Amino acid sequence: LGKYSNDSNEFAFAPDQEMYLYRSDISALAQAKSANYSGQFIAMRHFGKSIEDLETLYLAGGFANYINADNAKSIGFIADFPTEKISKVGNASLEGATIMLKSVSSRISIEQLVRKVEHIELETTPDFFDIFVEGCMFKPMPREIF
């Protein structure tokens, strides 16, 4: 395990169930992981924050519900936050929309919070490409970069 044989593009990890891992699967995972890595790295650097400065890492979306945090940290998909500081919030967009429709006071609070959000253009960051390439590696995100 760990490499493809004879220049093959697929690895049969459960051939009796016709389950294969393709090189393109690895490439897609590396790029998705790197996008996540790059966003975390650039945002934390932009705001001058380290992992220790943050109270909670929220993982949102259906996919996030099924992520094993320790495995995600080991390949650098998420920063090395203490597991107890990671919160899976499920379908946050649907939950937020529901809250906004049900409660005027919650809507006002959320609207005030949204005004404080700062948008960061990752791709215009001078070293974005270097960070993205580093993020494609399947290794933990270094703590010292923060």
| Mean pLDDT in residue range 59-80 | 91
pLDDT for the residue numbered 41: 93
- Asked whether the beta carbons of 65 and 90 are under 8 A apart, the reply is yes
pLDDT for residue 65 is more than 70: yes
Confidence of residue 145 (pLDDT cuts 50, 70, 90): low
Angstrom distance (rounded) from CA 114 to CA 2: 44
Instruction: Give strand ranges (E) for 4-125.
Output: 10-14, 19-22, 57-60, 86-90
**Strand, coil or helix: 143:** helix
- Could you read off the pLDDT of 91-126 as tens digits, one per residue? 999 999 999 999 999 999 999 999 999 999 999 999
pTM, to two decimals: 0.81
**DSSP state letter for 2:** -
Domain ranges of the chain: 10-145
- Could you read off the pLDDT of 13-41 as tens digits, one per residue? 888 888 888 889 999 999 999 999 999 99
Q: Identify which has the larger pLDDT, 116 or 6.
A: 116
Rg of the chain (C-alpha set): 19
Helix (H) or strand (E) holding 111: helix 104-114
Q: Mean pLDDT for the chain?
A: 89
pLDDT for residue 137 is more than 70: yes
pLDDT for the residue numbered 146: 52
| Mean pLDDT in residue range 136-143 | 88
67-77 burial string, b = 16+ CB within 10 Å, else e? bebeebbebbb
Residue 88 φ/ψ, nearest 5 degrees = -90, 120
pLDDT for the residue numbered 2: 56
Residue 70: C-alpha distances to residues 17, 76, 79, 105, 134 (Å):
27, 10, 10, 37, 20
